[in-house]
Amino acid sequence: MYFNIEEELKKLPKKSGVYLMQDELDNVIYVGKAINLRNRVKQYFQSSKNHSIKIKHLVKNINYFEYIVTDSELEALVLEDNLIKEHRPKYNTMLKDDKSYPFIKVTVNEEYPRVLFARKQGRDKEKAKYFGPYTSSKAIKNIIDLIRKIYFIRTCNRNLPRDIGKDRPCLYYDIKQCKAPCQDYISKKDYRKSIDDALEFLSGNYDPITRQLKEKMTEASNKLEFEKAAEYRDLLEGVMSMSQSQKISKTDAEDRDIIALANTESKAVVQVFFIRSGKLIGRDHFFLTGVEGEDKSNMMTSFIKQFYSGTPYIPKELSIEYPIEDKEVVEDWLSTKRGQKVYIKVPLKGEKVRLIELARKNASLILQQDEQKIKRQEARTIGAMESLGEILNIPGLNRIESYDISNISGYNSVGSMVVYERGKPKRNDYRKFRIKSIKGPDDYASLEEVLTRRFVHAKKEEKELKEKNISNEYGSFSRYPDLILMDGGKGQVNVALRVLNDLQIFIPVCGMVKDDKHRTRGLYYDNKEIIIDKRTETFKLITRIQDETHRFAIDYHRQLRGKAQVHSVLDDIPSIGEKRRKELMRHFESLEDIKSASLEELSKVASMNKLSAQSVYDFFHE
């Protein structure tokens, strides 16, 4: 379908809505929202001198666009968020980490409440009491364990008071970590007092329990009950540790998130401090991708819209470092999700500014650590590829394909094709081949079949894409490697060169030679063996590729063997499918019993009728 962009721009309505930019393969590459669709979309196709590099690349790849009109800006914001999640467009700033945070749930709606771990706030959030969200599941479990030990909160799922006295008390009563309300050993009033104390504790009031534990520890020590004193000491240390981890406190005791970011040209890190009831209960960081050319305000806007669309809890206030676009619309959206008014503020002075600066320093530190990690990874991957290209005199080496054959005495021979790009495995491009034309253990002939099928398919696909005026980059087989690696030496290399020569394809071929212990020794290239220093990243990359190719072939071979082993003689009987086969095996104790069964006995099996019973009987009695 021909799409005249200039004509279509004229048809755009001057209404709010969402627009989707798509490339020549119909992939959605960008999603945006607008108060005025015509004015906003036109901006992309006007003078590009003010466009960022990312926008220039985006416009270059737009084949056509679509739009959806909405009744309001808020509706457009929600729709934009949903479409970004669905399509994950290439040119949108994306939140890389998709995390969810757990809660502590106190079932105050029950007569004998419990303290539980909750993955999310349930429908009972108006009745039960939730604390969090917390950034660490382990931290939550430690807190719950501490609360149960201090306040003797029950852990069982018994329906109390209905089940009081029905069963004996559990192990926690025996080890003095529960006062057995299931036996009525503690009154409902006293148990409720323990729950109220636990709620105080979770709200951040640690002073009463700290004093109480210190007194009990001292008393036990004075009585020379050192084991009991040690127990109180451990509990006290747990409380002190928890209070220290939440030492950032606020005078207003509100729920708020403190959000700051740090960025380079290609990536950004957002740091969030989660403050609940004035206490810091956790922090986490998030990477943003696709930030090239974006200002900090746009990055902050993208983060807030994506992060809070998925988080189960939204605080009353977001304290952010930079103002965001459409602040009022985003506030309305967050308020709707929370059920109460949400405020987005940029603090200018006071404690909140200090916290934002602290969050920004944390984000910068994480970004620096990530840059160092990337440099180490690049030495292992891109650097190793460049070094290999220099050794083999192949400039611009980027894509490698590696091949191996697996079989047992020629049985179920399979071939594997593993792809590495920029020194990393590209698993979506891996291919498996079941050998069709070769009988018996002939690795050379099997390799010839695999390579022939792979590159014949490539030439066919290349021709089809050319007829459609589509680049080879979009094909699954038509992307040729810069280098072919064969698991083996001279013989395997010569097979590959012969296949490529017959097809008029010119790609360098290299063999990965192993020693007597089946470990990588070096490379066979251009009729000579090249020894590579085992301490280098280049040698380690070759070893990883060789091991991965072998693993992929072995896994496929095992998969085929497994399928063959589960084949039953019952599968060969006409009109007997998987369901009837299972019913037969369930009804009779063995295959021999099925063979000797009468027609009447076979007919009694569930899901069997006279025709299928006759089919089984005839199969074993012909």
Q: Is residue 329 part of a domain?
A: yes
Strand pairing class (268-276; 424-425): unpaired
> What average pLDDT does the structure give for the chain?
84
In tens, the pLDDT along 453-492 reads: 999 998 898 888 888 877 766 677 778 999 999 988 889 9
Do residues 176 and 61 both lie within one domain?
no
User: What gap in Å lies between CA 146 and CA 213, rounded to an integer?
Assistant: 13
Higher local confidence (pLDDT), 218 or 438: 218
In tens, the pLDDT along 204-237 reads: 777 788 888 888 888 878 878 888 788 878 877 7
In this predicted structure, what is the pLDDT of residue 135?
64
The CATH number of the domain where 608 resides is what?
Answer: 1.10.150.20
Do residues 548 and 406 both lie within one domain?
yes
In this predicted structure, what is the pLDDT of residue 522?
86
Higher local confidence (pLDDT), 147 or 62: 62
- Find out whether the peptide bond into 481 is cis, omega within 30 degrees of 0: no
Amino acid identity of residue 250, one-letter, is K
Instruction: Concatenate the DSSP letters of all residues of 209-257 into one string.
Output: HHHHHHHHHHHHHHTT-HHHHHHHHHHHHHHHHHHHHT--B-SS---EE
**510: confidence class by pLDDT, cuts 50, 70, 90:** very high
Q: Is residue 250 part of a domain?
A: no
In this predicted structure, what is the pLDDT of residue 248?
46
Q: Is residue 251 part of a domain?
A: no
In this predicted structure, what is the pLDDT of residue 447?
92
Q: Which of 377, 402, 435 is the last residue of a domain?
A: 377
Helices (H), 45-126: 53-61, 73-87
Do residues 541 and 592 both lie within one domain?
no
In this predicted structure, what is the pLDDT of residue 242?
62
- Point out the least confidently predicted range of 134-138, 143-147, 507-511, 512-516: 134-138
Do residues 529 and 442 both lie within one domain?
yes
Q: Is residue 391 part of a domain?
A: yes
Q: Is pLDDT of 163 > 50?
A: yes
In this predicted structure, what is the pLDDT of residue 97?
59
**29: confidence class by pLDDT, cuts 50, 70, 90:** very high
Q: Are the C-beta atoms of residues 69 and 13 closer than 8 Å to each other?
A: yes
Do residues 399 and 530 both lie within one domain?
yes
Do residues 472 and 370 both lie within one domain?
no
Q: What is the DSSP letter of 295?
A: -
Do residues 583 and 527 both lie within one domain?
no
Do residues 391 and 517 both lie within one domain?
yes
Q: Is residue 564 part of a domain?
A: no
In this predicted structure, what is the pLDDT of residue 401?
95
Q: Among residues of the chain, what percentage have pLDDT more than 90?
A: 22
Q: What is the pTM of this model?
A: 0.50
Q: Is pLDDT of 412 > 80?
A: no
Q: Is residue 600 part of a domain?
A: yes
**47: confidence class by pLDDT, cuts 50, 70, 90:** confident
Closest CA to 182 of 108, 112, 106: 112
Do residues 52 and 30 both lie within one domain?
yes
Do residues 411 and 542 both lie within one domain?
yes
Do residues 477 and 577 both lie within one domain?
no
- Point out the least confidently predicted range of 133-137, 254-258, 353-357, 618-622: 133-137
**Cα separations in angstroms, 587 against 514, 582, 595, 618:** 53, 9, 13, 19
Q: Among residues of the chain, what percentage have pLDDT more than 70?
A: 92
Q: Is pLDDT of 498 > 60?
A: yes
The CATH number of the domain where 88 resides is what?
Answer: 3.40.1440.10
Q: Which of 558, 585, 609 is the last residue of a domain?
A: 558
In this predicted structure, what is the pLDDT of residue 50?
75
399: β partners: 421
Q: Is pLDDT of 241 > 80?
A: no
In tens, the pLDDT along 134-151 reads: 766 777 787 888 888 888
The residue with tokens 């060169």 is 497
Closest CA to 434 of 545, 564, 570: 564
Amino acid identity of residue 58, one-letter, is L
Do residues 537 and 452 both lie within one domain?
yes
In this predicted structure, what is the pLDDT of residue 438?
75
- Find out whether the peptide bond into 161 is cis, omega within 30 degrees of 0: yes
In this predicted structure, what is the pLDDT of residue 555?
85
Q: Is residue 563 part of a domain?
A: no
Q: Which of 327, 350, 377 is the last residue of a domain?
A: 377
In this predicted structure, what is the pLDDT of residue 525?
92
Q: Are the C-beta atoms of residues 104 and 134 closer than 8 Å to each other?
A: yes
Strand pairing class (279-289; 256-263): unpaired
Q: Is pLDDT of 516 > 80?
A: no
Higher local confidence (pLDDT), 104 or 441: 104
The residue with tokens 């009950």 is 225
The CATH number of the domain where 327 resides is what?
Answer: 3.30.420.10
> Would you state the structure tokens that stand for residue 11, as one six-digit string?
């048809």
**408: confidence class by pLDDT, cuts 50, 70, 90:** low
- Point out the least confidently predicted range of 24-33, 130-139, 155-164, 474-483: 130-139
Q: Is residue 409 part of a domain?
A: yes
In tens, the pLDDT along 367-407 reads: 888 888 777 888 888 899 999 999 999 998 999 999 998 87
In which domain, by residue range, is 407 found? 385-558
Q: Is pLDDT of 251 > 60?
A: no
Count: domains in the chain: 6
In this predicted structure, what is the pLDDT of residue 250?
45
